[in-house]
Amino acid sequence: MAEKNDSWVLMVTAQTPTNIAVIKYWGKRDENLILPINDSISVTLDPAHLCTTTTVAVSPAFTQDRMWLNGKEISLSGGRYQNCLREIRSRANDVEDKKKGIKITKKGWEKLHLHIASYNNFPTAAGLASSAAGFACLVFSLAKLMNAKEDNGQLSAIARQGSGSACRSLYGGFVKWIMGKEENGSDSIAAQLVDEKHWDELVILIAVVSSRQKETSSTSGMRETVETSPLIQHRASEVVPKRIIQMEEAIRNRDFPTFTRLTCSDSNQFHAVCLDTSPPIFYMNDTSHRIISCVEKWNRSEGTPQVAYTFDAGPNAVLIARNRKAATLLLQRLLFYFPPESGADLNSYVVGDKSILKDAG
């Protein structure tokens, strides 16, 4: 514990981007440990646009663990937060700040409380995978504060227990979440396939179709799918394993046509298993469907794909353009087909990868 006085505060700040799956995770085999029924692959976004910044602080003056999200206090009593905090605390090591005269021993961490402040630089309510960036950042910043020696792979297995998709945000570039085989989840970790420089001509654009909070959360949606959809088993055991192999190859070879085919098919199959759930889950809306038609027509008319689309558990489109030129043309098309004054339910475009945040609303 503290050697000299009780008025010190030690803190660490970290920033973590969100990620978007191109081969989706949907369905758990263990709800508590958050173990998936299939591997998944994602691309991590540029932190300048969609990221969480978290400051974690420890002080003998703190009487309980507390957390604020975007300035508002939230409860830490949920099992997911508790699992992450417990796992990181058990890996804490001695920490010393000679200048401030602070020394916290491995044992000392057990008696100290934490204050956590987290901010998203994008609307949390817009359903833009905020939990992925949030839990990844929480685990990463706590590991730094507590001098945990775990590498990013091991930290990903802890972030996974906060939210499955969070494990993939510990790395940049393209990332694979290996589902693993162990019952305790020790091998269900994320691994980087290629770093962010490997395919840096891609431009990611997010069309915010609706900023309303989704009606069915990913957690309950995937539970209902696993319980009721006959299609999900076929997807998890037959379709995804083949797609994972093909997707890894497409990414390594920067093969945009194959990448697009796999990304779009996987998004469509994910929404098909949602429809196959009883009662059916509708994440996309008419505007999402119109965006798909618009991209499909354009890709066909060009002869070679210009843009891949993917939709998570909500109506917002994530559009991955093959390069800057295609991204500019895409933005022009979106503005033409969904002009801001038309009342179409498309209110802003968030453009990733060294680009701009454009509010067309």
Q: Is 25 in the site for ligand DP6 (CB under 6 A)?
A: yes
Region near ligand DP6 per CB under 6 A, out of 20-28, 96-104, 116-124, 145-153: 20-28
Q: Is 24 in the site for ligand DP6 (CB under 6 A)?
A: yes
Region near ligand DP6 per CB under 6 A, out of 18-26, 119-127, 198-206, 351-359: 18-26
Name which of 271, 266, 265, 263 is nearest 288 in CA terms. 271
Residue 142, Cβ density class (10 Å: 0-12 exposed, 13-18 middle, ≥19 buried):
buried
Q: Is 320 in the site for ligand DP6 (CB under 6 A)?
A: no
Q: Which residues pair with 55 in a beta bridge?
A: 13, 117
Region near ligand DP6 per CB under 6 A, out of 5-13, 19-27, 299-307, 324-332: 19-27
Own/partner pairs, 187-193, CB within 8 angstroms, 24+ separation: 188/33, 188/35, 188/36, 188/157, 188/160, 189/153, 189/154, 189/156, 189/157, 189/160, 190/152, 190/153, 190/156, 190/160, 191/153, 193/41, 193/248, 193/251, 193/252
* φ, ψ (nearest 5 deg) of residue 93: -125, 175
Restricting to residues 99-128, which ones interact with ligand DP6 according to CB under 6 A?
A: none
283 vs 338, which CB is nearer to ligand DP6? 283
Q: Is 84 in the site for ligand DP6 (CB under 6 A)?
A: no
The distance of Cα 101 from the centroid of its chain, to the nearest Å, equals 38
Least Å from the CB of residue 147 to ligand DP6: 28
70 vs 93, which CB is nearer to ligand DP6? 70
Region near ligand DP6 per CB under 6 A, out of 43-51, 109-117, 157-165, 230-238: 157-165
Residue nearest to ligand DP6 (CB): 164
In 3-state terms, what secondary structure has residue 96? strand
164 vs 305, which CB is nearer to ligand DP6? 164
Pick one of 47, 127, 164, 305: the residue that binds ligand DP6 (CB under 6 A): 164
> What are the residues whose beta carbons fall under 8 Å from the beta carbon of 98, sequence distance 6 or more?
none
> What are the residues whose beta carbons fall under 8 Å from the beta carbon of 86, sequence distance 6 or more?
none
Strands 113-120 and 102-104: unpaired
Q: Is 317 in the site for ligand DP6 (CB under 6 A)?
A: no
Q: Is 165 in the site for ligand DP6 (CB under 6 A)?
A: yes
Restricting to residues 238-257, which ones interact with ligand DP6 according to CB under 6 A?
A: none
Least Å from the CB of residue 131 to ligand DP6: 5
Q: Is 40 in the site for ligand DP6 (CB under 6 A)?
A: yes
- Give alpha helix (H) positions in 101-168: 130-145, 152-159
Q: What binding mask, one character per residue, do residues 125-144 give for ligand DP6 by CB under 6 A, x or -?
A: ----x-x-------------
102 vs 292, which CB is nearer to ligand DP6? 292
Q: Tell me which residue has tokens 């359903």.
A: 127
Cβ(147)–Cβ(12) under 8 Å? no
266 vs 353, which CB is nearer to ligand DP6? 266
Q: What is the DSSP string of 192-211?
A: EEE-TTTTTT-EEEEEE---
Distance CA 35, CA 180 (A): 8
Cβ(20)–Cβ(172) under 8 Å? no
Q: Is 310 in the site for ligand DP6 (CB under 6 A)?
A: no
156 vs 218, which CB is nearer to ligand DP6? 218
- Give strand ranges (E) for 61-172: 66-69, 72-74, 95-97, 102-104, 113-120
Q: What binding mask, one character per residue, do residues 209-228 give for ligand DP6 by CB under 6 A, x or -?
A: ---------xx---------
Q: Which residues bind ligand DP6 (CB under 6 A)?
A: 21, 24-26, 34, 40, 129, 131, 163-165, 218-219, 312-313
